[in-house]
Amino acid sequence: MSLYLSAAHKSSGKTVVSLGICGALKAQKLAVQPFKKGPDYIDPIWLTQASGKPCYNLDFYNMTEAEILQLYGDKNSTADISIIEGNKGLYDGMSVTGGDANADLAKLLDIPVILVVDTTGITRGVAALVKGYQDFDQEVNIAGVILNKVAGERHQSKLVQAIEYYTDIPIIGSVRRSKALIIDERHLGLMPANETPQSQQFINSASQLIADQVDLNKLISLEKSTQTAQTESIKLSTPQLRVAIAKDSSFGFYYQDDLDKFSELDVELIYFNTLEDSSLPECDGLFIGGGFPEMQLEALSANQSLLKDIKLKIEQGLPTYAECGGLMYLTQQITNQADSYPMVGVIDADTSMTPKPIGRGYVQLEPTKEHPWKNVASTIFAHEFHYSKLDNIDPKTHYAFKVLRGVGVDNKRDGILKYNLLACYTHLRNVAGNQWVEQFVDFIRTIKNPSL
């Protein structure tokens, strides 16, 4: 049982509707499995909290169709209903001829689409919009419409009459414009739920509003079951390792399937809090992912005990991988609006926050000869999102990657190397074409036992 929630265009309120539907279905004691299309961390954090199940990303850029089907099939098989939230608009993608849009993913998974329509400033014209989306690709099953940001009863009546007169697409719900359905936004998108103490309260409120204004029974009845071939995952019998992972309100951008891969490789993940813990947990490796450290600079800098411990352990050779926010955290200092705060200081560079994005979107990397991990792919497809840049970089710095597309550290290179540390602005995803988790784990084992 699966449904694909998409929209006519970006910022239609689709994510909030998706959260509300996940929460409302969970309240009915259904096991709800969320998915998110594209390279997104923030929406999956919210969807995970709303559904109570880890959210997984499906991405044409760095996954094959077979991988997408495999991941979707594995996770969908244990759920009562799966909700896939799209990105951008239904037909928006990198290619003008399609192939990587939400519509293509819905067709690949063979599941119906619920179109969320922002009705702000539109009445009769909503029918032209909906019918146009229906006719544009008739292989896409647009099975229902949810009207969003509706001004009132009169507005709703006009919208419903137009859609019912000109189309045969059922209206599943009509969601009124409400301040209770607004999440604070930030430069990279929605405010992460891990930063918001009131996030569960928001989800509860959204779930109740959606339950009141969306016909959940009709929504569920639209589903179309899809059976996907599955294969058993084989757990490797290797010596267990412990990898420490920063996870708190500063760092929380991790792909769930990447974390799952560590477990498959018999690695125990030990989470620590960069704001509260005085030292690293006992570990064989360290992974600091992305996030928004700039929102907690004073608290991060004040935790001197942890900063010193991380610096010492990396200087002593602890295998470490860091991405974006993690890279920033490991530099000498982070400056935001003229205020500078000392950080770990193991990387010979300073971080400066910028008002506009420096790197945002898909990237393509080529490993250099200095890359310390084994069996690295010759070309890596990944992504970056950063509103910061590095200044005062030591000219003797070594790099793991040449940037073919994107920005990285300096428009030409990414992946700063020092001791046994690799730190990137790029976010890697563990897929068939880039099995970075296994490479990192093998690197940890080699450092721990050079005789292997």
* Residues 280-317: tens digit of each pLDDT: 999 999 999 999 999 999 999 999 999 999 999 999 99
Do 351 and 408 lie in a common domain? Answer: yes
pLDDT tens digits, one per residue of 97-130: 889 999 999 999 999 999 999 999 999 999 999 9
Residue 292 is part of which domain span? 241-448
Domains in the chain, number: 2
230 belongs to a structural domain: no
Q: What is the pLDDT of residue 226?
A: 37
* CB-based burial, 345-372: b 16+ in 10 Å, e otherwise: ebbbbbbbbeeeebbbebbbbebbeebb
- Nearest CA to 288 out of 322, 254, 312, 324 is that of 322
Do 16 and 161 lie in a common domain? Answer: yes
The CATH number for 420's domain is: 3.40.50.880
Q: Select from 158, 193, 221 the last residue of a domain.
A: 221
Do 210 and 351 lie in a common domain? Answer: no
Amino acid code (one letter) for 290: G
CA distance 215 to 225: 20
Do 203 and 245 lie in a common domain? Answer: no
302 belongs to a structural domain: yes
Give me the residues paired with residue 391 across strands: 350
Q: With H, G, I as helix, E, B as strand and everything else as coil, classify residue 414.
A: strand
Query: DSSP secondary structure string, 172-202?
Result: EEEEEP-GGG---EETTEEPPGGG-TTHHHH
Do 315 and 184 lie in a common domain? Answer: no
Do 295 and 169 lie in a common domain? Answer: no
The verdict on whether 283 is a catalytic residue reads no
Average pLDDT over residues 397-405: 98
> Does pTM surpass 0.95?
no
CA distance 209 to 279: 43
227 belongs to a structural domain: no
236 belongs to a structural domain: no
Give percent of the chain with pLDDT exceeding 70: 93
pLDDT tens digits, one per residue of 4-59: 999 998 888 899 999 999 999 999 999 999 999 999 999 999 999 999 999 999 99
- Give me the long-range contacts of 13-16 (CB less than 8 A, separation at least 24): 13/116, 13/118, 13/148, 13/149, 13/175, 13/181, 14/85, 14/86, 14/116, 14/148, 15/43, 15/46, 15/85, 15/183, 15/190, 16/181, 16/182, 16/183, 16/206
Q: List the catalytic residue out of 22, 55, 283, 324.
A: 324
Phi and psi angles of residue 423, each rounded to the nearest 5 degrees, phi first: -130, 125
Average pLDDT over residues 189-206: 76
